Amino acid sequence: MNCADIPLRKCKYETTPVQRVPEYINFPSYAKTGIVEHSESTYEIKDEATINKMKKAGKLAAQCLKLCLENSKENTTTDDIDKMAFDFYIKNNAYPAGINFHGFPKTVCASPNEGSAIHFFFFFFFMYHLSILLLYEPRIMLYLQNCDECDVHLSAIANVLRHNLLVCHGIPNLRKLKKGDIITYDCTVFVDGVFGDCAGTTGVGEISEKHKKLINVSKECLYKAISVCRDGQKFSEIGKIITEHAEKNGFKVIRDFCGHFIGKNMHMFPLIEHHYPNGHGDNDRMKKGQIFTIEPILSEGSVNIHTWKDQWTVCTNDNSFCSQWEHTILVLENSAEILTDCE
């Protein structure tokens, strides 16, 4: 199957056809089939030649992310941004790694949190009257606290009142960005036989102080985690530091999405857990020459999630605003080098 023939799954907003990657570009194995080969390597330590290739890939991914963030203006569509990212990669003789990765139809993941003021008005109008009801009928609160289906009910209400507030893996489309939105881009690239991967969040126009804080704290979580990475460090420390800083600032860590080792495959084992306690044991330690991503997603509310019918787009069940930052890093003897830094 040619990448231009990838079937577009039903989305909430209109999308454009998949862009055709020129044949002179070096394709990853999944480019024409959508079938991703899984790496059997775990805890891989890279040689110097591979590290140099990873640095090039990381730089391209970081430059693409910067391009996406800087061009997220009012009335621009995420489809516009995706085309910019596609053109940037092709100009640099690199494959837009999002295209046909497990069938994904676009270059980047674009996950907006729609911040329209009128939806907040109706949301708080609803919450105000709900609080009055709970005040006079406490049995309702007891029911809510013990009801396994409450997240589903909240999701239905939130979808009506607050539109689309995405966690990750949004498909670029023709909806125009609006003042007050915040949006996350996940940028991946394949060049010289290896992958680069990074992500970041920005606001569109003027955004609320709370959402500025959400974006800043999620970025701080990432950098605090990177600051402790070194040869011999426990992988569990990453989740511990991220969770402590997020919760101290009133946010929660989405548990369902992890960092990962990366190299000749985009996703390699082990996965890097951002929550704490986590599954990393005391003997699960970093070694010099390992390359992996750290990519925490913070939510202002629920950490329970669901996926749209397009099989990609993920939202929290209460439609909370979310923010994500991601870097690919190289473990050194006493520190870590960020391979996707473009600031």
The answer on whether 295 is annotated among ligand-binding residues is: yes
pLDDT at residue 94 greater than cutoff 60? yes
Asked if residue 326 belongs to a known ligand binding site, the reply is yes
Same domain for 124 and 250, yes or no, is no
282 marked as binding residue: no
How big is the chain by its Cα radius of gyration, in Å?
20
Rounded to an integer, the average pLDDT of 207-211 is 96
Q: Tell me, what CATH number does 282's domain have?
A: 3.90.230.10
Q: How far apart are alpha carbons 255 and 246 in whole angstroms?
A: 13
Residues 182 and 291 in one domain: yes
Rounded percentage of the chain residues whose pLDDT exceeds 70: 82
What would the pLDDT profile of 279-335 be if each residue is shown by its tens digit? 999 999 999 999 999 999 999 999 999 999 888 989 998 889 999 999 999 999 999
Residues 137 and 219 occupy one common structural domain: no
Same domain, yes or no: 110 and 129: no
Does 209 count as an annotated binding residue?
Answer: no
Query: What mean pLDDT is predicted for residues 145-174?
Result: 65
Does residue 13 surpass a pLDDT of 90? no
Q: From its phi and psi, is residue 330 left (phi > 0), alpha (psi between -120 and 50) or beta?
A: beta
Confidence of residue 136 (pLDDT cuts 50, 70, 90): low
d(CA 257, CA 337): 23
| Confidence band, pLDDT 50/70/90 cuts, at residue 118 | very low
Is the pLDDT reported for residue 159 higher than 80?
A: no
163 backbone φψ class: left, alpha, beta (φ>0; ψ -120 to 50): left
Q: Is 169 annotated as a binding residue?
A: yes
Tell me if 319 is assigned to some domain: yes
Q: Residues 137-153: what's their mean pLDDT? A: 52
286 and 268 within one domain? yes
Beta bridge partners of 331: 336
Closest CA to 300 of 174, 208, 205: 208
Check whether residue 236 and residue 99 sit in a common domain: yes
Could you tell me the pTM of the whole model? 0.85
- Alpha-carbon distance of 88 to 96, in angstroms, equals 9
Residues 243 and 129 in one domain: no
Residues 209 and 280 in one domain: yes
**Domain tally for the chain?**
2
Question: What's the pLDDT at 130?
Answer: 58
Q: How far is CA 177 from the centre of its chain?
A: 18
Dihedral class, residue 167 (left if φ above 0, else alpha if ψ from -120 to 50, else beta): alpha
Residue 49 CB partners (closer than 8 Å, separation 6+): none
**Residue 134 domain boundaries:** 120-153
285 in any annotated domain:
yes
Using one digit for the tens of pLDDT, what is the confidence trace for 23-59? Answer: 999 999 999 999 999 999 999 999 999 999 999 999 9
Residues 205 and 95 reside in one and the same domain: yes
Residues 139 and 243 in one domain: no
The answer to whether residue 48 sits within a structural domain is no
**Same domain for 265 and 125:** no
Distant-in-sequence, close-in-space partners of 153: CB < 8 Å, separation ≥ 6: 147
CA angle 296, 301, 302 (to 5 degrees): 80
Residue found by looking up tokens 């390359």 in the block: 291
How many angstroms separate the CA atoms of 114 and 287, rounded? 41
Specify the residue for token string 């548990």: 255
Residue 137 and residue 106 in one domain: no
